[in-house]
Structure 1
């Protein structure tokens, strides 16, 4: 049996694929689930570590501790060299990533009933936009971490190319395919010529017409939806006594998954108290009091989950009402709720959608083909279901048919195929 697997370490969700005759392409990683949310929770009460859905469940149940999510977003940034406090001890962010990837490897091996010594890891087209040095550092860091978890050899494959391999396993004739992989942290695109006859060729470089991407994904949609509609409930947009704006940095940190914990320091707590005293408007004093209570209760991740929930629901609905029962103020004891309409989502993320569409056009231009020559758009990645975004991409290639892959599993399955070919 092959000792090779494909690892899709995602910003929001992770999968592990392999290629065995008459076996599913993805391995179960949490009970009967094929995905493992890329989440770690350090339970301070029981001094235990949990992962995935169990981590989110423990956090939302109110256990005291530290939740870590969107860890992949640290790769290639200066934060990767830093540390954070977990269960009273300092731990390097690099070690946190290693802990999660090691758990991912362990669960995959348990599910497969065998050891995996070799792996193809997925990577975005750009870890960091317009910075080749940071991109190289990000891949090297991820490679070092993977080797430290026990893999003997690893290779990398662009995530949209891996998704293309998964789609190619199901087609019957040659197609020119635009793979649109819109994940939690990045939106990546590849224009690839696929065919059943070429599927077993190891070197496919001649079939890849162009690659491109942008560091925008589902967590960015969550962030700007939160800033536009949720954070004003906590005082964003209000004024101090000198008519300057209430500092926005607290809200931006709370709306960004990997910086939420930065508002939980004693220094920020003192700053919030000072700002509160400088707000004269009673309405905004009440709203800012909600912010102070949210930070004291360390409910920032809960609020981010609520923003994500609204985004997901608005993929299918025209309107959603969020129950925000943890937003409380001494001046207002009534439960807080918020209604967001589809137009509100589109307004909040419109500038992101335009940037993503521009990235698609650039990939087509780089390939030197006309948009009407594209046969198929293959959508994958959990955030490709956001309403309006898919239509905007499809409008660029008017003659292409739209095909939806496994939004969370196509990349992992394709990486498993690639691993089987490389390490055969």
Structure 2
């Protein structure tokens, strides 16, 4: 019988989650079982629907099974994705799902429960030591780190006896260090769904008593979800009424931008289908200069088209990572969009975000007390690291030869599990 793993590393991501188990200096990813499984990557999503056969009358699923349930019954279910993005938000108190309300930690516990259930027994017995990744800086305009920690503690209560939180890029750094055969100063750039995080680590040669030592970290709440919104903002929202006008007491006013801001955040978009918001939109439609545009927005919300809409956005983003020109295609609820997009257009849309990301790289170097020319290797990880404009930032700053990639979706979990085997976790814990 194989020995019990000493540590579990969990990369609880905004878009995807990955789990690894470590024993004797090696980590192994946990695969998920079943006809809907997508290997070792588990989508960070939940779906709810009414079911009189379960306690409380409401059933739920997570990961790719949540997506499958939603795609089959979109109008009779509630789909939540990227709920990690509200972990540090004081504004977010609970999500309204049908007639019930769920706090962040309750959503998290349901997600973990279903993730364990789909792991084919690999997570039924878990090591006491659990290493959970956390962003260097949480998503949101005014993230409350203490609140996020409190919510994480409640979410993971009962998941393991010894919970530790480690910056996500440090997990990737530890994973990358296992590839190196000589000493190096490494910058890890982790581009997730909600945040972009940077850590600098000193890696000693193999055989050293202390292989890795963290030097400094910085992060910003800009990443893949923000890039998705830029695409929506330019290709979709104008035909849903953004920038339009309506009449109120004889005055011509702009359609409130708050409605369109909700499209930037899955946690808010999925919750717009409530009686109050829909009544407001119906009144707005009657007063709008272009009522058909507001009607299209109502359709997107009523027909629960958020997931296929963002799926189309993601397909365009991925296509533009490989091609100079691609076509955005979306059809649903009577709404059809087909438009060619140049990579140069996309890069122009995200230019302000790229500038802030580059400034955060400078901040990480300053915190570590390391000059750019002292960085021997740059390891890019996370889905958005595949965007050419992202890679161009690091190639221009550090040179092509110093850039390394690989394991974009799994390296963090690998490294977190390995960190869990360290004798002293104090220097790694956040």
Using the size of structure 1 for normalisation, the TM-score is: 0.89
2:22 maps to 1:19? yes
In structure 1, the residue matched to 2:59 is 48
Q: Which secondary structure does the structure 2 equivalent of 1:323 belong to?
A: strand
Stretches of structure 2 that go unaligned for 5 or more consecutive residues are 53-57, 426-430
Stretches of structure 1 that go unaligned for 5 or more consecutive residues are 330-334
Q: CA deviation at 1:162?
A: 0.8
**How does 1:180-259 map onto structure 2 within 5 Å?**
180-197=189-206, 201=210, 204=212, 207-241=213-247, 242-259=251-268
**Per-residue CA distance 1:11-41 (angstroms, 9 max, x = gap):** 1000111123697621113546111010111
* Aligned equivalents of 2:205, 2:120: Cα separation in 1: 30
Contact 2:26 2:418 (8 Å CA) reproduced: no
In structure 1, the residue matched to 2:81 is 69
In structure 2, the residue matched to 1:144 is 154
Q: CA deviation at 1:299?
A: 1.8
RMSD: 2.6
* Aligned equivalents of 2:171, 2:418: Cα separation in 1: 8
Q: Does the C-alpha gap of structure 1 residues 95 and 113 become closer, same or farther in structure 2, counting only changes over 3 Å? A: closer
2:31 maps to 1:28? yes
2:263 maps to 1:263? no
Q: Which secondary structure does the structure 2 equivalent of 1:110 belong to?
A: coil
Greater helix share, structure number: 1
Q: CA deviation at 1:103?
A: 3.1
* Aligned equivalents of 2:342, 2:332: Cα separation in 1: 22
Contact 1:377 1:394 (8 Å CA) reproduced: no
* Aligned equivalents of 2:349, 2:51: Cα separation in 1: 38
Q: Which secondary structure does the structure 2 equivalent of 1:258 belong to?
A: helix
In structure 2, the residue matched to 1:158 is 167
In structure 1, the residue matched to 2:341 is 340
Contact 1:118 1:423 (8 Å CA) reproduced: no
In structure 1, the residue matched to 2:428 is none
* Aligned equivalents of 1:268, 1:89: Cα separation in 2: 17
Q: Does the C-alpha gap of structure 1 residues 137 and 289 become closer, same or farther in structure 2, counting only changes over 3 Å? A: closer
Q: Does the C-alpha gap of structure 1 residues 185 and 168 become closer, same or farther in structure 2, counting only changes over 3 Å? A: same
2:95 maps to 1:84? yes
Equivalent residue for 2:313, pick from 307, 311, 321: 307
Greater strand share, structure number: 2
Q: Does the C-alpha gap of structure 1 residues 112 and 247 become closer, same or farther in structure 2, counting only changes over 3 Å? A: closer
Q: Which secondary structure does the structure 2 equivalent of 1:240 belong to?
A: strand
In structure 2, the residue matched to 1:332 is none
**Per-residue CA distance 1:261-289 (angstroms, 9 max, x = gap):** 33212222222122222223xxx333222
Equivalent residue for 1:320, pick from 306, 321, 326: 326
Q: Does the C-alpha gap of structure 1 residues 129 and 45 become closer, same or farther in structure 2, counting only changes over 3 Å? A: closer
* Aligned equivalents of 2:167, 2:25: Cα separation in 1: 26
Equivalent residue for 1:7, pick from 6, 10, 28: 10
Mean CA deviation greater in 264-273 or 346-355: 264-273
* Aligned equivalents of 1:130, 1:238: Cα separation in 2: 26
Q: Which secondary structure does the structure 2 equivalent of 1:337 belong to?
A: strand
**Per-residue CA distance 1:140-173 (angstroms, 9 max, x = gap):** 321232123x311111111111111101111100
Q: Does the C-alpha gap of structure 1 residues 267 and 93 become closer, same or farther in structure 2, counting only changes over 3 Å? A: same
Q: Which secondary structure does the structure 2 equivalent of 1:377 belong to?
A: strand
- Between the two proteins, the alignment pairs up a number of residues equal to 410
Equivalent residue for 1:122, pick from 125, 133, 137: 133
* Aligned equivalents of 1:277, 1:131: Cα separation in 2: 35
Equivalent residue for 1:174, pick from 173, 179, 183: 183
* Aligned equivalents of 1:287, 1:58: Cα separation in 2: 29
Q: Which secondary structure does the structure 2 equivalent of 1:262 belong to?
A: coil
Contact 2:204 2:210 (8 Å CA) reproduced: no
Q: Which secondary structure does the structure 2 equivalent of 1:138 belong to?
A: helix
Using the size of structure 2 for normalisation, the TM-score is: 0.87
Q: Which secondary structure does the structure 1 equivalent of 2:347 belong to?
A: helix
* Aligned equivalents of 1:175, 1:344: Cα separation in 2: 37
